[in-house]
Amino acid sequence: MAQTPDSHPLVTALGLLGRSREARARLVTALRELEPLLAEPGLDVRRQITGPIVDAMHDEGEHIDIRLDSGLAFTALYTSSHITRDLVLRAVEEPDHVFEPQTTKALLALARNARHVLIGGAYSGDHAVPIAAVIAAGGGIVHAFEPNPAQQAILQKNAAANGLTNIVPVALGLWDVPSVRLSFVGTDALASTQLDPEGAIDVTTIDDYCARNGIDALDLIMLDIEGSEMQALRGARGMLSSDRPPAVVFEMNRQYVDWSQGLRRTTIGGFLDGLGYELYGIRDYQSHVAMPGHPVELVPADTAFLEGPQHGFNMLAVRDPKIVSENPLFRIVPDVSPKLLFHRDPALHAPKFTSGADIRPDRR
């Protein structure tokens, strides 16, 4: 709610309204209920209308506290990003995820019984915390790489709040060589890294980190590092080519990746394909949406619909296709977009019933 001297009067007014938690909560409820009434093709109501109103009512860095239906407590920093904005606008008081419902389901299924999970770009722990809770009883460990100091602090706060001693926070970047330094470009969740001899971010490679810490195999790697995924995977070649290869979940974004020849012919797709991995797009909302009971739909890389404005989505790579084919959580859905969107063609951008009919879950 901190306003600059030249703030628009409406933004200033919303900031003042936001000082009352009760008034703010009532307006958030009203905005959420209005979203279906405002929906029309091509209009992203959340990004263009309701989200900016919610932003104006919150301070940058304000703590947003929620509890998941599993009992886990979670705190996020309000950063005028769609992550915290969508948390505030959630309709389910105790949801089953923090962000990206289908990716969360996939990660939890892939991590079950894992001994070592490595997350690059752990942020505040939206995936690290639920995974750590699932694998704690079996002695599993989450190695959570997050070089952003503010998010690293919230990650540790969330681990402590839930008594999770099996999250190892690592304030390093991931790269393909261990002897460089990086700096951030951009802010918060959308910040990428670049080579910078004077940068503040020290790095390691996944292979070097595992060797130094006596880790002979990883069960799962998850990367959301805004364009540095290729470098991180090159630095994990030893783990990826081993006899016990990890499943890999990573973000693919057209801002950083040329997919004009298809996903398999991208640099990162070709690298993983050359190591024997099968690639799938994970159909998901990059948002907070209630999707209980929906299977995780996977789009074979060669069939993914990729047209449209610049966008990104998560992908799954596995060396053993049975990980997907023999798990009823997953369903193969070819010839559609991995990006689920409320304001685009539902035949391409909405999840489906087992009958094949289009479905649009509540935006929660």
Which pLDDT score, from 0 to 100, does residue 256 have? 84
Most confident of 73-82, 145-154, 157-166, 249-258: 157-166
Tell me the domains of the chain and their CATH numbers: 9-88 (no CATH), 101-349 (3.40.50.150)
More confident residue, 316 or 181: 316
Compute the average pLDDT of residues 260-282.
95
Question: How far, in Å, are 58, 174, 224 from residue 19 at the CA level?
Answer: 8, 40, 34
Taking the C-alpha atoms of residue 179 and residue 204, their distance in angstroms, rounded to an integer, is 8
Taking the C-alpha atoms of residue 89 and residue 27, their distance in angstroms, rounded to an integer, is 10
- pLDDT at residue 68 is higher than 90: yes
> Rounded to the nearest 5°, which phi and psi values hold at 181?
-125, 155
Which pLDDT score, from 0 to 100, does residue 363 have? 58
Residue the block writes with tokens 């209630």 = 290
Residue 362: pLDDT band with limits 50, 70, 90: low
Which pLDDT score, from 0 to 100, does residue 311 have? 86
Residue the block writes with tokens 């290729």 = 230
Compute the average pLDDT of residues 277-288.
95
Which pLDDT score, from 0 to 100, does residue 223 have? 96
Do the strands 173-174 and 201-204 form a parallel or antiparallel pair, or are they unpaired?
A: parallel
Compute the average pLDDT of residues 281-294.
93
Question: How far, in Å, are 78, 225, 227 from residue 159 at the CA level?
Answer: 18, 21, 27
What's the whole-number average pLDDT of the chain? 90
| Residues facing 75 on adjacent strands | 65
Compute the average pLDDT of residues 326-353.
92
35 Cβ contact partners less than 8 Å away, ≥ 6 residues apart? 45, 46, 50, 363
Residue 3: pLDDT band with limits 50, 70, 90: very low
pLDDT, tens digit, 9 for 90 and up, residues 105-128: 999 999 999 999 999 999 999 999
Compute the average pLDDT of residues 223-227.
85
CA-nearest of 246, 72, 97, 230 to 163 is 72
- pLDDT at residue 294 is higher than 60: yes
For residue 363, give both structure tokens: 């935006």
Which pLDDT score, from 0 to 100, does residue 355 have? 45
Compute the average pLDDT of residues 156-175.
96
Which pLDDT score, from 0 to 100, does residue 361 have? 64
Taking the C-alpha atoms of residue 170 and residue 342, their distance in angstroms, rounded to an integer, is 36
CA-nearest of 274, 273, 275, 294 to 283 is 294
Residue 41: pLDDT band with limits 50, 70, 90: confident
Residue the block writes with tokens 């990716």 = 103
Which pLDDT score, from 0 to 100, does residue 72 have? 98
More confident residue, 256 or 116: 116
Which pLDDT score, from 0 to 100, does residue 356 have? 47
Asked if 283 and 298 count as a contact pair (C-beta separation under 8 A), the reply is: yes
For the chain, the 3-state helix, strand and coil shares in percent, each to the nearest 5, are 30, 20, 45
Which pLDDT score, from 0 to 100, does residue 329 have? 96
Residue 182: pLDDT band with limits 50, 70, 90: confident
Asked if 254 and 304 count as a contact pair (C-beta separation under 8 A), the reply is: no
Asked if 298 and 235 count as a contact pair (C-beta separation under 8 A), the reply is: no
Which pLDDT score, from 0 to 100, does residue 364 have? 46
Compute the average pLDDT of residues 291-306.
95
